[in-house]
Every structure is written in C-alpha cells, then in structure tokens.
C-alpha cells in the first residue's frame, strides 16, 4: 500500500499558490484515478483506491504546511505502512517552474512541510517528488512571500507540463519502483 501526500495549506486564501502545488497534484491524481479526496482522517482529506494491484491512499493534510508531519505520521501509523510506502509531493524553489525531481531521503531543504514530516516520523527515509516553482528574479525577496504568491501566466504553462510529468512519475513509482522512476524522470 502507498500513501501519496500532497503538501499545501488549507483555505481559500492559499488556493493556487506556489506552496499548494502538492494539493493541485493530489486533485489531478484523484481525477485521473476517478476518486474523490474528501474523507476526513487525522486532519487530512483522503481518498482510497487501487493501482496495478496496490492500495493507494491520497491525502491532503489540512494542518498548515509547517504541521504536516502530524497528519502524515498519524496516517502512516493508522495504515501500518512501511517508509517505502510514503510518497510526498511538494513545491521546490530550487527547481525551475514545472521541473520535477524524485528524491529518497536527505534533508528538508528549507521546506517546512518536509521538515515537519522528518521531525514527526523521526526519519528522512521516504520518497519525495518535488515540483519546481522557481525563484523570483530579484535578489531581495522573502521566500514565504514568493511561495504564497500565485503563478504567472507564463509559469502556468510550465507548471501544467510539470504536473503531467509528476502524475506519470508517481504512477511509475507505484507500479515499477522508485529507482525506475528516478531513471526516467530525473
């Protein structure tokens, strides 16, 4: 079984912001898998299905980003999943808009949701799928202002392409394994 978590912040004020790319991803994956992600469970909205014989739970934590680990840890314990069953999808300012990167383990890179998950789980050994949201082209900027901003029309073209790649990459992780997906998409 796999738990695919998209990171974001709840509430209308945060919809379609760079930081909520994980939520957008989960919504699109749910549409592709023809399920809804509406069942409340451990401060997340969840949906459950199967993919190539594997159970798959999609989740959007309804805590704020910096508390995502509370929900993820509870879901992992509830479903009794091994670490290899966790896939976390999130924004990354160090990747250009729409570029994706699959990573296993490592640090949080300043991403508060990943930092929270590592803290709550007591390990960094889980799969992350990063979707690039880029950096502003000015030197003096606040990361929080950037990630809580919305994509420009030009960026949206790249984000749409990146989301399509990310959807295919997660399906490959589940059906063929993380290493196969890394070899194909990194």
Whether 108 is catalytic = no
Asked if residue 185 lies in contact with residue 169, where contact means CB atoms within 8 angstroms, the answer is: yes
The residue annotated as part of the active site, out of 19, 60, 99, 103, is: 19
The answer to whether 167 and 100 have CB atoms below 8 angstroms apart is: no
Backbone angles phi, psi at 46, to 5 degrees: -130, 160
Let me know: does 68 contact 7? Beta carbons within 8 Å. yes
Nearest to 21 by CA among 147, 161, 171: 147
Query: Residue 7 and residue 22: Cα distance in Å, rounded?
Result: 5
Q: Which residues are catalytic?
A: 19
């Amino acid at each position: 079984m796999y738990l695919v978590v998209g990171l974001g912040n709840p509430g209308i004020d945060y919809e379609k912001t760079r930081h909520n790319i994980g939520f957008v991803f989960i919504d699109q994956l749910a549409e592709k898998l023809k399920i809804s992600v509406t069942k409340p469970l451990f401060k997340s909205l969840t949906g459950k299905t199967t993919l190539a014989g594997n159970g798959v739970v999609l989740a959007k934590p309804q805590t704020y980003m910096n508390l995502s680990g509370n929900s993820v840890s509870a879901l992992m314990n509830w479903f009794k999943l091994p670490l290899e069953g966790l896939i976390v999808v999130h924004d990354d300012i160090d990747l250009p808009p729409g570029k994706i990167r699959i990573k296993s383990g490592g640090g949080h890179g300043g991403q508060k949701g990943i930092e929270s998950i590592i803290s709550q789980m007591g390990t960094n050994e889980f799969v992350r799928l990063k979707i690039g949201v880029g950096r502003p082209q000015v030197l003096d900027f606040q990361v929080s202002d950037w990630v809580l901003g919305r994509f420009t029309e030009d960026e949206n073209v790249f984000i749409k392409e990146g989301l399509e790649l990310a959807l295919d990459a997660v399906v490959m992780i589940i059906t063929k394994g993380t290493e196969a997906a890394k070899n194909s998409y990194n």
